[in-house]
Amino acid sequence: MKQIKTLLIAAILVLGASTTMNAQAKAAHVDVSEIMTKMPAMLDAQKQLEKLSATYDADYKKMAEEFQAKLKKYDAEAATVTDAVNAERQKEVQDMQKRIQDFGQNAQKELQTKQEEITKPIYEKVRAAIQKVGKAKGFQYVLDGSTLLLADGPNLTLDVKKELGF
C-alpha cells in the first residue's frame, strides 16, 4: 500500500512537471528600430521627408527675410511718414508675422502627417514579417528587443530582415 502511494505521488509530480513545462510559452525578441532604420523603404521615406522639410525651410527662410527687409524699411521711414501710415504698416507687419508663424506650424503638422503616412505601411510590412517568422519558428511571443532589459531568448532580427529582403 505504501508503494502505491509513493508511485501515485511520483506520477502526480511527473504529470505536474510536464504540464508546467508545456505551459511555458516560447518567446523571442527582435529589434524593430534596427530593422526600420536600415530598411531600404524607410531610407527612401527619410529622403522624401528631408526633401519636403528642405522645401518648407526654404519657404520659411524666404518669408522671414522678406519680413526683416520690410521691418527694416518701415523702421527707417517711420519718422518721415504720417501716424496713420505707421499704424497701417504696424498692422501689416503683425499680419505678416502671424502668417509666418502659421506657415511654420502648418509645415510642421504636414511633415508629421506625411511621416505617419509614409511610415505606417512600412511598419505594417515589418510587423507582418515578424509575425510570419515568429509563427514559422514556433514562438507564441515576439518582443521588441529595443525595450527589453533581459533578452536570453532567440533574436529574430536577422530572420526578419531576410524575410523583408535585405
pLDDT at 166: 84
pLDDT at 158: 87
CB 30 within 8 A of CB 141: no
DSSP string covering 103-147, please?
HHHHHHHHHHHHHHHHHHHHHHHHHHHHHHHHHHTT-SEEEEGGG
**Amino acid, res. 27:** A
* Spatial CA neighbour of 56 closest among 15, 115, 129, 116: 115
Q: What is the mean pLDDT of each run of 10 residues along the chain (166 residues)?
A: 57 53 73 91 95 96 96 91 92 96 96 95 93 91 69 78 88
pLDDT at 18: 45
pTM, entire model: 0.68
User: How many whole angstroms separate alpha carbon 151 and alpha carbon 31?
Assistant: 11
pLDDT at 128: 93
pLDDT at 157: 85
pLDDT at 15: 53
Q: Hey, where are the domains in the chain?
A: 2-164
Distances (CA, A) of 37 to 31, 45, 75: 10, 10, 49
User: How many whole angstroms separate alpha carbon 116 and alpha carbon 156?
Assistant: 26
